[in-house]
A and B are shown apart, each in its own frame.
Chain A
Amino acid sequence: MTEPLFYGPGFPYQKIKDLPGKLIVLEGTDGIGRSTQIALLRRWLEDEGYAVSDTGLRRSPLTQPGLDAAKVGHTLGPRTLALFYATDFADRLENQIIPALKAGFIVLSDRYFFSIIARDIVRGADPQWARKVYGFALKPDLVLYLRADISTLVSRIVHGRGFNYWEAGMDIRCADNLYDSFCVYQTRLIDQFDQMAQEYGFTTIDAARPVAVVFDDLKKNISDLVRSEKI
């Protein structure tokens, strides 16, 4: 990365000159296998001798209690929730991701703000507003977009963790039952990701293939990046 680039004004009060690490993001909808691939990548990179830090949309210590309370009561409106998530994201970016990049780590991020705005937009947020809110976000070195169509996703969920309320978008009731709502909601999310893939230049990875094949594909992309310059 070395010279940091942002999607908007970044953090004007904090001049960041040098970030020797690499920020690698895995994006894609629920149940696509991101966490499995992150675990594999981490092991591989560490074997290669790189220091790795992984981070995700796990909540930051700052916003966790508030977000938990808000989710239980479902009392936050969509725009408020969007801003709350942005607070959480900014906290992790400034207090975890950037310090790790300064220290020369490879940061593997399980999702980035793209997932958050996809969710926000599907819930009615203005797409331009949502993008501008994240004008403080650092441009990753690589965004790997794990893509599969809805039927592949469904079979992953059936053979995996099962359907759940949030992943089916039942808070906005896309249909009157969990299965149909899941299909409608995830299809809308995929549409948003596809649009962003063009706009932000994601590297699209076909995630319908077996785990090992997807892993090899990811490894190849990351090798090209980390070998292009010595970390």
Chain B
Amino acid sequence: MLRPGNYKGKLIVVEGIDGSGKSTQIDLIHKWLQSQGYSVYFTEWNSSELVKSTTRLGKKEKVFTPTTFSLLQGTDFSDRWENHIQPMLKAGAIVLADRYAFTAFARDVARGVDRNWVRNLYSFATQPDLVFYFTVPLDIAVERITSSRAQIKYYEAGMDLGLSDSKITSFRLFQQRILNEYDGMAEEYGFAVIDGTLPVQQQQKIVRQQVKKALAGWEGLPSPITRTRRRRTTSMIIKEVLAEKAAKEGGEQK
């Protein structure tokens, strides 16, 4: 376990290998919680503005070693932790994180860094209230990734490890190592395991049940904008979608 948070807010995290469907699920949770009137903040792995230029440079020039890759992602996480995640939790928001420290524990160790060393790096992060771990057989993940993207990226495939000259083979070997690390962590960090091969809606149903359970009796910080807690009617949904579309088109014309 990571150190306990005891914040006013709630921290909910999704984890899993690429192609496990976790981003789809957290996106649905995000919209659902907002419509329930909660204040929600979403954060994703490797998205700090300040660290971005360095990450881009390192990836382009392929100069990362497992240690520098791990440290830079730790820097990125620390920046998001100090500036967003922790203040939002203190304020009482629900923070949804697409990947968390466990991603580093799985990937960096798969790259060859020491298990305890990387755990120390992230020892300032607190244990989430809920960690969903989406499991899929490797074949399905590979199938999803290769059919939805033009190309698997160099570091995503673990090409820096020299496992294989073929990107697909390297990707499989690397993701298998990551899977092994995740599986080993599931109990230690109390992951809620979700079968990522189930239909999207069915997974969402299970996920929402768990979120509801975690939020039972918790007040949180109400959103000043959304007050509706009831199910929306069809006409309301149509109005919303049309308004969003109009706003988007208006923006594109600029």
Binding site for B on A (CB under 8 A): 8-9, 11-14, 61-63, 65-66, 69-70, 73, 75-77, 79-80, 83-84, 86-87, 90-91, 94-95, 129, 132-133, 135-136
Q: Would you call B124 an interface residue if the criterion is a C-beta within 8 Å of the partner chain's C-beta atoms?
A: yes
Given contacts A8-B117, A13-B111, A83-B74, whether A77 and B82 have CB atoms under 8 Å apart is: yes
Which residues of B have CB within 8 Å of A90?
65, 67-68, 71
Give the size category of B's interface with A: 20 to 34
Say whether chain B's binding surface is mostly helix, strand, loop, or mixed: helix
Which residues of B have CB within 8 Å of A13?
66, 111-113, 161
Q: Hey, what's the 0/1 contact readout for B51-90 against A, CB within 8 Å counting as 1? A: 1011001100101111110011011001101110000000
Interface residues of B in 81-124 (CB under 8 A from A): 81-83, 111-114, 116-117, 120-121, 123-124
Q: Would you call B50 an interface residue if the criterion is a C-beta within 8 Å of the partner chain's C-beta atoms?
A: yes
Q: Which residue of A69, A75, A79 contacts B78 across the interface (Cβ within 8 Å)?
A: A79
Binding site for A on B (CB under 8 A): 50-51, 53-54, 57-58, 61, 63-68, 71-72, 74-75, 78-79, 81-83, 111-114, 116-117, 120-121, 123-124, 161
Cα-based distance from A73 to B53 in the complex (angstroms):
15
Cα-based distance from A61 to B53 in the complex (angstroms):
12
- Is A79 a contact partner of B53 (Cβ separation < 8 A)? no
Minimum CB–CB distance from B73 to chain A (whole Å) comes to: 9
- Is A94 a contact partner of B51 (Cβ separation < 8 A)? no
Given contacts A77-B79, A80-B75, A90-B67, whether A12 and B54 have CB atoms under 8 Å apart is: no
Which residues of B have CB within 8 Å of A11?
65-67
- Is A132 a contact partner of B71 (Cβ separation < 8 A)? no
How many pairs, one residue from A and one from B, have CB atoms within 8 Å of each other in the complex?
97
Given contacts A66-B51, A70-B50, A94-B65, whether A83 and B120 have CB atoms under 8 Å apart is: no
Which residues of B have CB within 8 Å of A80?
50, 75, 78-79, 82
Known: A62-B57, A135-B117. 20 other contacts (CB 8 A): A9-B116, A13-B66, A13-B112, A62-B58, A62-B63, A66-B54, A70-B50, A77-B78, A79-B78, A79-B82, A79-B124, A80-B82, A83-B71, A84-B75, A86-B71, A87-B71, A87-B72, A91-B68, A95-B63, A129-B124
